[in-house]
Amino acid sequence: MSPLNPLNDPSVLYLRAVLGARLARLRSREERGRGASAIEWAIITAILALIAITIGAVIQKKITEKADSIKTG
């Protein structure tokens, strides 16, 4: 895991894989004209929000760890 890239965090990678699989299933539907239902859009939105919150938490953790390691004399 690269300390400079929070997108390489295992939880973020897992969420990206789950979302990618879900999007692949949605794209492969033969009934493309039907579109996604409101529930599907709610699930997709929740997943994207979870990814954003996770990335924000990882970035905040890294910044806090780095700030705590700086000696201020």
Burial 34-65 (b: 16+ CB within 10 A, else e): eeeeeeeeeeeeebeeebeebbeebeeeeeee
pLDDT in tens, 20-64: 888 887 777 655 555 668 888 889 999 999 999 999 999 999 999
| pTM reported for the whole predicted model | 0.49
Model pLDDT, residue 3: 58
